[in-house]
Amino acid sequence: MEGLAAALQQLVQNGVRGAINVQGTISAVDESNYTCSVDMGDDTLFLAVPLRVMIGSAASVVEIPVVNTKCIMCFRDGNINFPQILSIDRAAKILIDTPLVQFNGGDKGGMVEVINLVTKLNNLENLVNDLITKYNTHTHVLALSSGTGTAAVTVTQETGSLTPTVRANIENELITQ
């Protein structure tokens, strides 16, 4: 009968392997190591719990949780010594490291490279402002057949100018690359 009990216990352990899930609260986050501490609410605290990835490995998407948010944690292979975060209620940020990120079908084109765009816009704005200055300060010298002439500044002055673009005008800092 002992053999049957041992076999049944082994069968149950194999059946729940990786399926032990518990709810807790994230009490601290170590973003540099992609880990967190999880408070189970009964004086049990799990430290250095991986955020959906194995410690030391890379992942293409990692959610960095907000401290004090609820989470679901599992134990890999049913082993309490190998906790891992399955899901979180709120993320402070999401880190994405992949060669292609596509939003809503990707038919709106690529994300603006703000630094390059600001440089190009500033070059254009500086050129237009320089042309306006040259236009407004240009004098015409009229040579008359009698040998006398007059000089006059351009009659119609350009009053507008372009303000140089700054990154804050065109950049959404909540989506960075």
Q: Indicate whether 18 pLDDT > 50.
A: no
Most confident of 52-56, 76-80, 132-136: 132-136
User: In this predicted structure, what is the pLDDT of residue 71?
Assistant: 97
Would you place residue 16 in the very low, low, confident or very high pLDDT band (cuts 50, 70, 90)?
A: low
The answer to pTM > 0.75 is no
**Among 21-25, 29-33, 72-76, 149-153, the least confident range:** 149-153
Mean per-residue pLDDT of the chain: 81
Sorted by where each begins, the domain ranges of the chain are 2-99, 105-170
Mean pLDDT of 12-23: 67
Distance linking the first and last C-alpha atoms of the chain: 63
Residues 156-166 have pLDDT tens digits of 777 777 788 88
How far is residue 23 from each of residues 27, 41, 84, 112, 151, measured CA to CA in Å?
Answer: 13, 9, 12, 40, 85
- The full DSSP string for 12-58 is HHHHTTT--EEEEEEEEEETTTTEEEEE-SSS-EEEEEESSS-TT--
Domain covering 2-99 assigned CATH 2.40.50 in the classification = yes
